[in-house]
Structure 1
Amino acid sequence: MVAVLFSTTIGLKCEKHEIVVECSGCEADCNNLQKVCPLVCNGIKACQCQTNFARDLTTKKCVPISQCKKSKTKREVDPCAAITCDAEEFCKAFYVPCVVAPCPKIGQCMPKRIERG
């Protein structure tokens, strides 16, 4: 069995744990594993960390997410705290799809159910 250390395409050589992508937005890094970015397809190939890897901003290398240092001061923020809904609505938090878990939540106003007797 041969391990592939580099991913290549014409004129582009990626490092270990990177892949060549044609459509990219922004990749996760150890400081922000929950980046939500638009997908950009401009025909320019680039190297990006593989799934379950994130960019270590100190070494500029892709490392397993488990090796990223966890922030002890970061707390989950209630996404509904900054949203004001109408009287007939309530705020519900939803997870946003993302590449690297845990995914962030957003708040959205939803209609209240009306009980009928």
Structure 2
Amino acid sequence: MTKQSLINENNMSVALAANIIGDTWSLQIIKELIENKKLRFSEIQDLVANICPRTLSQRLEKLKSQGIISKNIVDARPIYCEYTLTNLGEKTSPIIQAMAAFNHSLKKEITR
């Protein structure tokens, strides 16, 4: 494999990861699931500021279809759904933590 093909492969890998978890809403949803483990739709909506129900529903469906989260139907009265991270979703934790640390450092630099 040539050096250029390795670079192209790495660029494609980054682009794929960014496509999956790169939008603001998805990142925030994943962050909340990392911190809380299991959440209902309404709980996610309360925790992710300013997200409308339609957008939340779309992002949850996207993350579910990409194997990042799972939707579990709880057979209780009333029946409800909980969202959790899959094993693949849990692997995003270091990325999210690194982004949070970078954001913290950036805020310090800006306020100097």
Instruction: Give TM class, smaller chain.
Output: under 0.3
More strand by share: 1
| Higher relative contact order structure (alpha carbons within 8 Å, sequence separation ≥ 6) | 2
What is the TM-score with the length of structure 1 in the denominator?
0.22
What is the TM-score with the length of structure 2 in the denominator?
0.22
More helix by share: 2
Q: For the pair shown, which has the larger CA radius of gyration, 1 or 2?
A: 1
